[in-house]
Structure 1
Amino acid sequence: MRHLIEKVRKQQPLIHNITNQVVMNFTANGLYAVGAAPVMAHAKEEVEEMAQMASSLVLNIGTLTKEQIDAMILAGKAANQAGVPVVLDPVGVGATTFRTNSAKRILKEVNVTCIRGNAGEIANLAGVETEVRGVDGSSDTDIQQLANLAFKTLQVPLVITGEEDVVIDRDTRVSVSNGHPLLTKVTGTGCLLSAVIAAFLAVSDNVVEAATDALSYYGVAAENAADQQGFPGSFQIAFLDQLSEVDGETVNKKKQLTRSS
Structure 2
Amino acid sequence: MNRNVIREVREKSPLIHHLTNQVVMNFTANGLLSFGGIPAMANAVEEAYDMAMNANGLLINIGTITPLEVKAMIAAGKAANEKGIPVVLDPVGVASTPFRDTAVKQVLHEVKPAVIKGNAGEMAYLAGIPWETKGPDSVGEGNSAEVAEKVAAIYDTAAVVTGKVDMFCIGNDLGENTTGHPFLTKITGAGCLLGSILAACLTTDQPLKQQINTALSFYGAAAEYAACLPDVSGPGTFLPCFIDALSLDVGKLEVHE
Both structures adopt the same fold (TM-score exceeding 0.5): yes
The 5-angstrom pairing of residues 226-241 of structure 1 reads 226-228=227-229, 229-241=232-244
Local SS of the residue matching 2:247: helix
The offset of 1:147, in angstroms, is 1.9
Give the distance between the partners of 2:153 and 2:256, measured in 1 at CA: 31
User: Is 1:243 the equivalent of 2:249?
Assistant: no
Aligned counterpart, 1:194 = 195
Deviation at 1:205, TM superposition (A): 5.7
Q: Any stretches of 5+ residues in structure 2 without a counterpart?
A: none
Structure 1 residues 48 and 148, CA gap change in structure 2 (3 angstroms)? same
User: Residue 208 of structure 1 corresponds to which residue in structure 2?
Assistant: 209
Aligned to 1:85: 86
Write the distance in 2 (CA, Å) between the matches of 1:238 and 1:40.
24
CA RMSD of aligned residues (A): 1.6
Q: Which amino acid aligns with 1:130?
A: W
Structure 1 residue 169, shift from structure 2 partner: 1.0
Aligned identity (percent) is: 45
Q: Distance in 2 between matches of 1:193 and 1:167?
A: 14
Distance in 1 between residues matched to 2:206 and 2:68, nearest whole Å: 31
* Displacement after TM superposition at 1:249 (Å): 2.9
Amino acid of the structure 2 residue aligned with 1:230: S
Q: Is the 8 A contact 1:87 1:114 kept in 2?
A: yes
| 2:156 is aligned with 1:155 | yes
Is 1:126–1:154's contact at 8 Å kept on the other side of the alignment? Answer: no
Deviation, structure 1 residue 250 = 4.1
1:141 counterpart SS class: coil
Distance in 2 (alpha carbons) for counterparts of 1:134 and 1:24: 19
Report Cα offsets for 1:50-105 as digits up to 9, x if no partner. 10110100000000000000000000001111111100000001100010111111
- Label 1:135 to 1:64 Cα distance change in 2 as closer, same or farther (>3 A): closer
Per the alignment, residue 222 of structure 1 pairs with 223
1:204: Cα distance to partner? 3.2
Q: Which amino acid aligns with 1:219?
A: G
> 2:127–2:147: 8 Å Cα contact kept in structure 1?
no
Partner of 1:139: 140
Structure 2 length as normaliser, TM-score?
0.94
Indicate the SS of the match to 2:17: strand
Q: Distance in 2 between matches of 1:32 and 1:161?
A: 22
2:154 is aligned with what amino acid?
T
**Residues 1:15 and 1:217: Cα distance change in structure 2 (over 3 Å):** same
Q: How far apart in 2 are the matches of 1:211 and 1:62?
A: 22
1:251: Cα distance to partner?
5.1
TM-score normalized by the length of structure 1 = 0.93
Please tell me the residue identity of whatever aligns with 2:166.
Answer: D
What's the CA shift for 1:151? 2.3
The answer for the alignment partner of 1:71 in structure 2 is 72
* Cα 1:205–1:104 shift into 2, 3 Å: farther
1:12 maps to what in 2?
Answer: 13
